[in-house]
Amino acid sequence: MIELINVNKSFGKRTIISDFSCRFEQGRANLIIGESGSGKTVLLKCIVGLTEVDSGQVLYNGRDFIKMNGREKQNIRKEMGMLFQGGALFDSKTVEENVVFPLSMFTDMGEEEKIERANFCLSRVNLKNVNHLYPSEISGGMKKRVAIARAIATNPRYLFCDEPNSGLDPKTANVIDKLIHDITIEYNMTTVVITHDMNSVMEIGDKVLYLYNSRKWWEGAKESILGTDNKELQEFIYVSKFLKEIRERELGDAGKK
Amino acid sequence: MTTLFSHIGRYFIMMRHVFAKPEKMRMYRIELFHAIETLGINSLPIIAIISLFMGAVITIQAAFGFTSPWVPLYAVGVTTRDSIILEFSPTIVSLILAGKVGSNIASEIGTMRVTEQIDALEIMGINSSAYLVLPKIIACVIINPFLIIISMFLGVFGGWVLGMFAHVITSYQYVYGLQFEFRPYNVTYALIKTIVFAFIIASVSAYHGYYTNGGALEVGKSSTKAVVYCDILILLFNFILTQLLLA
Ligand SMILES: Nc1ncnc2c1ncn2[C@@H]1O[C@H](COP(=O)(O)OP(=O)(O)OP(=O)(O)O)[C@@H](O)[C@H]1O
Ligand SMILES: [Mg+2]
């Protein structure tokens, strides 16, 4: 379980995260949604300690991550898998080497076993026959999927995904959503996913946090998100006329009953 | 001035992490061999060409300079040998390596920084500075002395061949000059300098790459800065070491 207590972060005079508290439970997919530029990536980086917070606590199973020393941090991080918004694949390594890398670093698996594991992870993100290509030789969506395969290779306890299905077609996006959902339950991970995509929210959002105006504006399960009366969240969800009509129809139906 | 001190401070902070205990020796060894190839072996051609021609030019210039009948003919060999061993190979070649290897290291690590590859390493629980920098430092410290020795041989050889070709020396006089009052200590002095310069090249340019911040433009700037700082430090330490070792 990860818990944030009164986290604040600003860059110069610009406040990005203010007084943010929340809990990410184990075995559940926790989603962070919000407009572009609202600070989702910054928040995630504060959680994993890549960006220093100005004040507040980030607790991993009750222990303050920010106050840990280098070694302790490293030990927690060995249990993390993270997908960066830009993929962050090692571009001097092939697809296969990228996925194998964390395994070579932290396990005593044999060569064959590692390759097998890598192929398994790659197949779960629907990638085949790209093992020996370099990141510069594959498409944007493929990079993203390789990065997901790398993030899950070591079966992390904490999984962080920054927009796992941006740039993917709806079908592949759905595969990724399902994958995240399944492994979260299968391995009892604490998963935090940033997304813009309402499809994913409805698919996997065990818990949804809406980031607005540098604050936690709304929090709840996916079931309650469509009927929300939070004005900003409504505006965020119901951008299209089509969806608005559906909502009105649903509300109308509910009224009749 | 404050930026200079903050550079120095951050440099030593990074170096403290660089020399922490490695997580997995085998992974570092792979990186080391890779670094020896990209930073060492690949520098051979340029060093060979430069050394041959510089040796030749030093020989020809010496021959033209020594027109007085009081200077023996073999002095050309002595001059070429000493200029190459004392200064050209260790210092000038290190400056050239700073340009080639230094910019290579800074841009490689800088690119990894701005594309979040270093963050990806950190998130995996890897000591990124040690993993990226230590193999490069060791590679340079091991391989540069060999490069410099090769450069010495080729420089002297270039002077011999091209000097004869230009009819400014005779083979006998030149070779006699090479052996005349040869001090092996000069080679030791040159190699000590080389090792110090190798450490400077690898660590200072890695530092500039590691603390790149921004985008592709900044990677370019870091790599330029890396070369400039390496050059200045090499010249400074050349002076200090010469005072210590020869004076
Ligand atoms: N290193 C930084 N220095 C200064 N400002 C930054 C830095 N990183 C992010 N910001 C600012 O923080 C704000 C939030 O950025 P962030 O990347 O978290 O957005 P986001 O919610 O992830 O958006 P998107 O959905 O487009 O990825 C932006 O206004 C950005 O300008
Ligand atoms: Mg983002």
DSSP 8-state secondary structure symbol assigned to residue A136? G
Which domains are seen in chain A, by residue range? Answer: 2-79+156-256 (3.40.50.300)
DSSP 8-state secondary structure symbol assigned to residue B199? H
Tell me the C-alpha to C-alpha distance, in Å, between residue A75 and each of A71, A78, A106, A157, B96.
Answer: 6, 5, 11, 12, 41
Q: Which atom of ligand 1 approaches the CA of A42 most closely? A: 18
Contact A76, A18 (CB under 8 A): no
**Which residue ranges have their beta carbon within 6 Å of ligand 1?**
A 11, 16, 34, 36-42, 85
Number of domain units in chain B: 1
Structure tokens at B156: 């002297």
Asked if residue B22 is part of any domain, the answer here is: no
Go through A194-233 and write b for each residue having 16 or more CB atoms within 10 A of its CB, e for each that does not.
Answer: bbbbbebbebbbbbbbbbbebebbbebebeebbebeeeeb
For ligand 1, atom 4: residue with the closest CA: A11
Asked if residue B10 is part of any domain, the answer here is: no
The pLDDT assigned to A230 comes to 83
| Bridge partners, A218 (sequence order) | A210
Best mutation target among B113, B123, B136 (most A Cβ atoms within 10 Å) is B123
Asked if residue B72 is part of any domain, the answer here is: yes
Asked if residue B225 is part of any domain, the answer here is: yes
Q: Which atom of ligand 1 approaches the CA of A196 most closely? A: 25
Over 90: is that where the pLDDT of A20 sits?
A: yes
Please report how many Cα atoms fall inside a 13 Å half-sphere around the Cα of residue B37, on the Cβ side: 6
CA–CA gap between residue B53 and residue A23 (Å, rounded):
69
Contacts of B152 (CB under 8 A, 6+ apart): B51, B84, B85, B89, B187, B190
B125 to chain A, any CB pair closer than 8 A? The answer is: yes
Least trusted range by pLDDT, from A19-23, A58-62, A217-221, B21-25: B21-25
Residue A15's CB is within 10 A of a number of other CB atoms, namely 16
The pLDDT assigned to B170 comes to 87
DSSP 8-state secondary structure symbol assigned to residue B43? G
Structure tokens at B227: 């070369």
For ligand 1, atom 5: residue with the closest CA: A11
Asked if residue B11 is part of any domain, the answer here is: no
Q: What is the largest CA-CA distance in chain A?
A: 64
The pLDDT assigned to B119 comes to 95
Asked if residue B32 is part of any domain, the answer here is: yes
A221-239 pLDDT, tens per residue? 888 888 788 888 888 887 7
Contacts of A238 (CB under 8 A, 6+ apart): A244, A247
Q: What is the mean pLDDT of each run of 10 residues along chain B (247 residues)?
A: 88 92 87 94 94 93 81 86 93 95 96 96 93 96 96 94 87 89 92 97 97 94 96 97 89
Over 80: is that where the pLDDT of A250 sits?
A: no
* Nearest residue to A23 via CA among A61, A49, A51: A61
What H or E segment, with its residue span, contains residue A160?
Answer: strand A158-162
Go through A37-69 and write b for each residue having 16 or more CB atoms within 10 A of its CB, e for each that does not.
Answer: ebbbbbbbbbbbbbbebeebbbebeeeebeebe
Structure tokens at A199: 């499809």
Asked if residue B3 is part of any domain, the answer here is: no
Assign A240 a pLDDT band (cuts: 50, 70, 90).
Answer: low
Asked if residue B155 is part of any domain, the answer here is: yes
The pLDDT assigned to A85 comes to 92
Over 80: is that where the pLDDT of A257 sits?
A: no
Structure tokens at B119: 């963050």
A111-158 pLDDT, tens per residue? 999 999 999 999 999 899 999 999 999 998 899 999 999 999 999 999
For B109, the domain range is: 28-245
The pLDDT assigned to A255 comes to 57
- The predicted model gives A25-47 an average pLDDT of 92
Residue of chain B whose alpha carbon sits nearest to that of A90? B117
